Amino acid sequence: MVVDSIQSVFTGDLEGAPGNVGQVRECAARLMRFAKESGTAVFVIGHVTKGGGIAGPKTLEHVVDTVLYFEGEGSLDHRVLRATKNRFGSVDEIGVFRMTEQGLIPVENPSALFLGDREKHHASGSAVTALLEGTRPLLLEVQALAAKAGFGTPQRVTTGYDARRLALLLAVLDKRAGLAFANLDVFLNVVGGVRMQEPAGDLAVAAALASSLYDRALPPDAIFVGEVGLGGEVRAVSQVERRIAEAEKMGMRTAYVGERSVPRRGSRTIRVEGVPTIADLFRQLFR
């Protein structure tokens, strides 16, 4: 059963127009009782504001068992299905779908979709990282561009990455690695319209920024996985083996991770390099 939308449904037992707090709460509660008693799966669609939140009362999210968001840029052909609340499972899982003439179809290998035509257009300022979305490892490309500022105050523009986290990494690169971005505009983009929220992507962001500053391309078959601390140290992240296994499937040959993240059992097809600090990483890449 699909209800589109909950803001247009009302019950005559209550006063008030459809969409107000009382109507939405009561209608959602009745639908939930119907679902429990009959065993029917009920999908309730709610209008979303420009800020991305469900329009109207937040009580709707408290009543239902699962809250799903269907995300994606209008200019892209893929959509991401993400759970922000789930009483029966993890909220970290995602589903990736492509919009075709036949409708939405699931993407079996999201890493290949997000990396795209990277091999044909490989340039400086591009780095690949392996993030975990629930139990699924994904390879994502991070692109950075550092250019001379055209105005007095340099710009810091990010897409898919937290702007405050970028400011922190720029300060660490300046203080711990001697890379000055004070007079440069910095643009950062996570390819594919994905939001990078896991700190394991810090090392890839730092490597992409350094690559753009030096104007030297990073190895196209390398991934960068690690959290960068304020001291410039590269910290360990969880489930490195699964991330490396996904990179192996995509043909990667080198993985740069924190020293404590190096797996005990090596791989025959991918070389794992443990780096203690970002300065040590840059010495390996740009010496």
Exposure class string for 23-32: b at 16+ Cβ within 10 A, else e: bbbbbbeebe
Which parts of the chain fold into alpha helices (H)? 21-38, 59-63, 110-115, 163-177, 202-214, 240-249, 278-286
Q: Which amino acid is at 105?
A: I
* pLDDT above 90: percentage of residues in the chain: 55
Task: Specify the pLDDT at position 77.
Answer: 78
Q: Which residue has the higher pLDDT, 275 or 78?
A: 275
Q: What pLDDT digit, counting tens, does each position of 131-141 carry?
A: 987 777 889 99
Q: What is the pTM of this model?
A: 0.75
Tally the C-alpha atoms within 13 A of residue 109's C-alpha that lie toward its C-beta: 9
pLDDT at 259: 93
- Fold equal for 2-107 and 113-286: no
> How far apart are the C-alpha atoms of 116 and 106, rounded to whole Å?
17
pLDDT band at 215 (very low <50, low <70, confident <90, very high): very high
Cβ-contact 192, 78 below 8 angstroms: yes
List the one residue out of 123, 76, 96, 116 whose CA is nearest residue 250.
116
CA distance 133 to 92: 6
| The pLDDT value given to residue 284 | 93
pLDDT higher than threshold 80 for residue 200: yes
Q: Where do the structural domains in the chain lie, given as residue ranges?
A: 2-107, 113-286
For the segment 241-270, the average pLDDT, to the nearest whole number, is 88
pLDDT surpasses 70 at 267: no
pLDDT at 55: 53
Q: Look at 101-105, 182-186, 235-239 and tell me which has the smallest mean pLDDT.
A: 101-105
Preceding omega of 267 cis (within 30 degrees of 0):
no
Helix (H) or strand (E) holding 272: strand 271-275
pLDDT band at 124 (very low <50, low <70, confident <90, very high): very high
**What's the pLDDT at 60?**
81
Residue 48 or 97, more confident? 97
- Is 114 a residue whose pLDDT tops 70? yes
The fourth-level CATH superfamily of domain 2-107 is: P-loop containing nucleotide triphosphate hydrolases (3.40.50.300)
Residue 80: phi and psi, rounded to 5, are: -115, 125
Task: Answer with the residue of higher pLDDT: 206 or 78.
Answer: 206
Residue 57: is its pLDDT beyond 60?
A: no
237 pLDDT more than 60 = yes
Which residues, at least 6 apart from 50, have a Cβ–Cβ distance to it below 8 Å? none
pLDDT for residue 115 is more than 90: no
End-to-end CA distance of the chain: 61
Question: Cα separation of 245 and 162, whole Å?
Answer: 27
233 has a pLDDT exceeding 70: yes
Just give the CATH number of 113-286.
3.30.230.10
User: What is d(CA 243, CA 227) in angstroms, rounded to the nearest whole number?
Assistant: 14
Q: Which pLDDT band, with edges at 50, 70 and 90, does 268 fall under?
A: confident
As a whole number, the mean pLDDT across the chain is 88
CA 94 to chain centre: 10
pLDDT band at 15 (very low <50, low <70, confident <90, very high): confident
- Per-residue confidence (pLDDT) for residue 163, from 0 to 100: 95
Q: Which residue has the higher pLDDT, 108 or 185?
A: 185
